Amino acid sequence: MNTAQSEALFTRAKDVIPGGVNSPVRAFRGVGGTPRFIASGDGAHILDVDGNEYIDYVCSWGPLILGHRPKVVIDAIAAVLELGTSFGAPTGREVELAELIIDAVPSVEMVRLVNSGTEACMSAIRLARGFTGRELTLKFEGCYHGHVDSLLVKAGSGVATLSLPDTAGVPCGFSETTIALPFNDLDAVERVFRDQGDRLACVIVEPVAGNMGCIPPEPGFLEGLRRVTERYGALLIFDEVMTGFRLSRGGAQELFGIKPDLTTLGKIIGGGLPLAAYGGRAEIMQKIAPAGPVYQAGTLSGNPVAVSAGVAMLRYLESHRDVYDTLEKATAEVTARAPEGVRVNRVGSMATFFFRPGPVRNYEEAKGSDTAVFSRFFHHLLERGVYFPPSQFEAFFVSTAHRPQDIAYTAAAIQEFSKN
């Protein structure tokens, strides 16, 4: 496979961009080799600058539930570009998108639009502190909620891929406001609440972890978080940046039948453009400025291009409820071909092949995976035109654009690895 153009671009990039990439996991540090520089995408396929074509299971890390350049989204973007890209003032489309989110997500009564998942999580935690008058946040090891100073404590995703202990540049004062516990360990949560329940503002959790690989909640875990937060007057925040509109139209909270106090959303709600949101109970959301004393603002929040893409995406999912059955079947076909001895974790259309025996229920068990074998697996697929996430600690995604022949080809490539 010729990669000369990608190699040349990576060399140039490292002179002007730290590490040659604008988000760490893209650098292929977790698997070795040269990152592919992508020229275009269409449906379930991407084309790199050297002309190599791949079946894409990264899907821009989750947003592309309809694949690359779906007509419904492209048409919406083209139409709004005739009107303007940013006004720094309210538009009717913002109201429409907010209404679509509230209609779909069970716990959300009001919503504020922002630009990224990091911004959504940062703002939701500030709101939780402002609402409760408390300072501490409880999170879970391996769950990544964006590069917020106080949340880069035992984070997953790129931090795990690069084997960083956490990150430099975060003052102790920030990290001291965060308690990190093992995912799926309800007993540990209850112990912390017994000791410090009157100081805890919130618990933030990915209801299905996706940033240490896909790890579903154990039976009773999310229900237990709901009970203990209610008992002690803390807020429960579901980080559904990855799972929102991906696992079902109402996200993981609809799938598991649990209503958090606040929800953060991103990825799919932007239709492939930078857009995110946080929302929840009206009495909590009314504390945000200008309605209340908790300040948060953003020049490009609710910009018409991203909002129009988001409206088109959510309206499509509203009118095509069979999307989730289609995704379920396609993803099940891919994971059914997992190499022997590999642990498969899957919820809906997000999944991970963990190269280790036994269950993977938390960050420590995920870190027990054989990353060297995963690297060989990744490059085996890449050489055959199948693009998986370049890290053992990431989920892969299936879109509605993945055709039966794409799935069959991928399954055959996986089985070929198993025979080697």
Active-site pick, 48, 57, 232, 239? 239
Measured in degrees and rounded to the nearest 5, phi and psi for residue 218 equal: -70, 150
> CATH number for the 71-319 domain, one of 3.10.105.10, 3.40.640.10, 2.40.420.20, 3.90.600.10?
3.40.640.10
Q: What pLDDT score does 187 carry? A: 98
If you compute the radius of gyration of the chain from its CA atoms, what whole number of angstroms results?
21
Q: Is 239 part of the annotated catalytic residue set?
A: yes
CATH number assigned to the domain covering 4-69+321-419? 3.90.1150.10
Query: 213 forms bridges with which residues in the sheet?
Result: 211
How many residues make up the chain in this entry? Answer: 420
Active-site pick, 267, 316, 363, 387? 267
Whole-angstrom distance, CA of residue 276 vs CA of residue 273: 9
Same fold, 4-69+321-419 and 71-319: no
Active-site pick, 54, 57, 144, 387? 144
* Pairing of β 110-114 and β 350-354: unpaired
Q: What pLDDT score does 166 carry? A: 60
Whole-angstrom distance, CA of residue 249 vs CA of residue 61: 18
Q: Is 144 part of the annotated catalytic residue set?
A: yes
Q: Is the dihedral of CA 80, 66, 394, 263 positive or negative?
A: positive
- CB 313 within 8 Å of CB 268: yes
Whole-angstrom distance, CA of residue 416 vs CA of residue 43: 25
Among candidate residues 286, 285, 240, the one with its CA nearest the CA of residue 259: 240
Q: Is 329 part of the annotated catalytic residue set?
A: no
Ranges of residues in the chain with a pLDDT under 70 are: 150, 152-167, 173
Q: How far is CA 108 from CA 160, 208, 221, 280, 285, in A?
A: 31, 19, 21, 4, 10
Q: What pLDDT score does 390 carry? A: 97
pTM for this entry: 0.94
Q: What pLDDT score does 160 carry? A: 55
Domain ranges of the chain: 4-69+321-419, 71-319
